[in-house]
Amino acid sequence: MRSPKRFAPTLAILLALAACGESDTAKSESPAAAAPVMSDVAPAPSAARPPNVILIVADDLGINDLSLNTELRAGDRPAPVATPNINRIALEGVRFDQAYSGHATCAPSRASLMTGRMPQRYGFEFNPGSAAFAKTLSGTVYDGIPGLYFPERAEGQDPPQAVGVPPEEVTLAELLKSSGYRTAMFGKWHLGMAPDMQPGAQGFDEWVGFLGGASLYALPEDPDIVNAKLPIDENLWQIFRYDALRNGEPMDSRQYQTDLWADEAVSFIRRNAGAPFFAYVAFNAPHNPLQAPRAIYDELSWIQDHEERVYAAMVVSLDRAIGRILDALEEEGLTEDTLVIFTSDHGGAEYTRLYTHNLPFRGFKGSFWEGGIRVPLFVRWPAGFEAGLVVKTPVRHLDLFPALGALADAVAEPAAPLDGTDIFSPLAGGTKPSAAVPMIWRAGDVFAIFDGRYKLMTANRPERVWLYDLQEDPTEKVNIAADEPQTVARLTEALATFDEDVGPPENMTLFEIPSRADPPPPDPSTEDLDELDFVYWPS
């Protein structure tokens, strides 16, 4: 192993577990990682030509923010607002019931989606950010737990403006462009600000959006906009600005951004109706800052909490924007021959203080509990995929790159190795994937691995090991690490092999903030941190 220190907590706990006696060998054995066999999928009629592709990504949207998942909502919280247009993609297409993001924070998750490769392979493991930004957020106390600041990590690092997806990586846009697709990107990029990392240099023929991780949706003083300031972004409202570029040049527009990205996508669809096209529509909604159209906010008067109401209005606005994109396809006669993908970059955020985004799963954005990495994934292609299918086999964002490349018969040669599997061939009646690839996540010293049944998570701050049997305990209620030392050892070895393969983290973030598995109690000072399920997340 390259770096035993990184797994020292796990190994120490293993020794303690071994002293307690080994568990039943048969019980600790795990089947091979679940390959996306999709035995429940029947072949659909094959399409005459590769489809147009629209990839729609929401930002910080939890699976339980969608009304399609109302049945998952627990307790006495009100049902989520209606999302009929997003639901429509699922009901008229294929719903992947156990889909995972490539990471639990924005930039590296989007990088895995855009390259089909784990971001650790090319040094893009963390959200890029300035030292001043890191110092501000690390100085916050998060429900009784302080943030951590590591200024010494800055030595020898690249400046934030130089961090992103390297130009030599083949992006999804470049992949599809090699098959004759016209390509465009709308919305949040967050994959590099340097000229050779911007969308126009990464395969997109045209783009409208912003390069960083967040933007004002509209000017705060706009009378048609309602704002809600969260505790975490109290200082950030002084930094946030309205940021919209067209092919790198500032735009005059001050249109509410969710509507702006949708309108630009609709224009692109209409202008390219006669040729294959790929549109990457990367909404920043409902990521903070929380800003919503007043007209929609006023429709939701039954929601009493102001912050929740603004957030809900942002979700409604997102859904209606997506509806306009679907309507444009219908009006142009393109519905049958267009593959529409909807997903979120990762789970919903804890810092909204709404806590229901990811139910019934534990955890939030910035953690590898299921709530941090389980995402909606809906795929609609009427000419190619049978409608109404529910695929229960675990899949991930990384699978979309090879799947779309195969579908489009792309000729571009992507970087190796790809970390995903073609999950679309079975849907179109082709051969079933046979590779069994464990799913691995890493954020500095925080790791997770899922082998199709067991999921192991390890952290060094605090020193913890969690093991869950997701077949028996899909919501991760019971940590069985003490009962399964052999499984912990086997999966720890696999993590060490991966760690050796990709090398140490690059451009390590300067701050870490506590990320909980569960909402805090009314009085966090009563908590015993030694008993609390949380990690310090390198944000």
Structure-token pair, residue 214: 């967040």
State the CB neighbour count (10 A cutoff) for residue 4. 10
| Higher per-residue pLDDT: 84 or 14 | 84
The helix or strand, by DSSP H or E, that contains position 41, with its residue range, turns out to be none
pLDDT score of 1 more than 50: no
Q: List pLDDT tens digits, range 457-471.
A: 999 999 999 999 999
Structure-token pair, residue 339: 């593959």
| Higher per-residue pLDDT: 429 or 116 | 116
Structure-token pair, residue 164: 């992103």
pLDDT value at position 507?
A: 93
- Pair 188, 59: CB distance under 8 Å: yes
pLDDT value at position 70?
A: 66
State the CB neighbour count (10 A cutoff) for residue 185. 32
pLDDT score of 172 more than 60: yes
Residues 6+ apart with CB under 8 A from 196: 167
pLDDT score of 38 more than 60: no
401-406-412 Cα angle (round to 5): 75
Instruction: Give the pLDDT band (50/70/90) at residue 20.
Output: very low
Percent above pLDDT 90 for the chain: 74
pLDDT value at position 415?
A: 86
Structure-token pair, residue 5: 């220190």
Delineate the domains of the chain, giving CATH numbers in brackets.
Answer: 53-128+163-407 (3.40.720.10)
Q: Out of 12-21, 296-305, 487-496, which region has the weakest mean confidence (pLDDT)?
A: 12-21
| Higher per-residue pLDDT: 119 or 144 | 119
- Pair 510, 490: CB distance under 8 Å: no
Amino acid identity of residue 122, one-letter, is Y
Q: List pLDDT tens digits, range 399-419.
A: 999 999 999 999 888 888 999
Q: List pLDDT tens digits, range 301-360.
A: 999 999 999 999 999 999 999 999 999 999 999 999 999 999 999 999 999 999 989 999
Q: Please list the alpha-helical segments (H only) found in 332-396.
A: 370-373
Mean of the per-residue pLDDT values of the chain: 89
Indicate left, alpha or beta for 406 from its phi (over 0: left) and psi (-120 to 50: alpha).
alpha
3-state secondary structure of 35: coil
| Higher per-residue pLDDT: 500 or 42 | 500
264 pairs with which residues across the strands? none
- Read off the pLDDT of each residue in 145-172 and give the average, rounded to a whole number: 94
- Read off the pLDDT of each residue in 489-499 and give the average, rounded to a whole number: 97
Instruction: Give the pLDDT band (50/70/90) at residue 426.
Output: confident
Q: List pLDDT tens digits, range 223-248.
A: 999 999 998 887 778 888 999 999 99
Reference 536, options 64, 142, 22; nearest CA is 142
What distance in Å separates the CA atoms of residue 186 and residue 207, rounded to the nearest whole number? 6
What distance in Å separates the CA atoms of residue 335 and residue 238, rounded to the nearest whole number? 43
Q: List pLDDT tens digits, range 243-277.
A: 999 999 999 999 999 999 999 999 999 999 999 99
CA dihedral 180, 111, 318, 301 (to 10 degrees): 180
pLDDT score of 25 more than 70: no
Q: Out of 15-29, 400-414, 449-463, which region has the weakest mean confidence (pLDDT)?
A: 15-29
pLDDT value at position 13?
A: 52
Beta strands in 108-172 (DSSP E): 141-142, 145-146, 148-149
pLDDT value at position 9?
A: 53
What distance in Å separates the CA atoms of residue 6 and residue 4, rounded to the nearest whole number? 5
pLDDT value at position 279?
A: 99
pLDDT value at position 42?
A: 39
Instruction: Give the pLDDT band (50/70/90) at residue 398.
Output: very high
- Read off the pLDDT of each residue in 479-489 and give the average, rounded to a whole number: 98
Tokens 């942002």 correspond to 314
Percent above pLDDT 70 for the chain: 88
3-state secondary structure of 396: strand
- Read off the pLDDT of each residue in 117-139 and give the average, rounded to a whole number: 89
Indicate left, alpha or beta for 225 from its phi (over 0: left) and psi (-120 to 50: alpha).
beta
pLDDT value at position 74?
A: 52
Q: Out of 7-21, 39-53, 326-340, which region has the weakest mean confidence (pLDDT)?
A: 7-21
Q: Where is mean pLDDT largest: 66-70, 100-104, 393-397?
A: 100-104
What distance in Å separates the CA atoms of residue 15 and residue 175, rounded to the nearest whole number? 47
Instruction: Give the pLDDT band (50/70/90) at residue 392.
Output: confident
pLDDT value at position 6?
A: 61
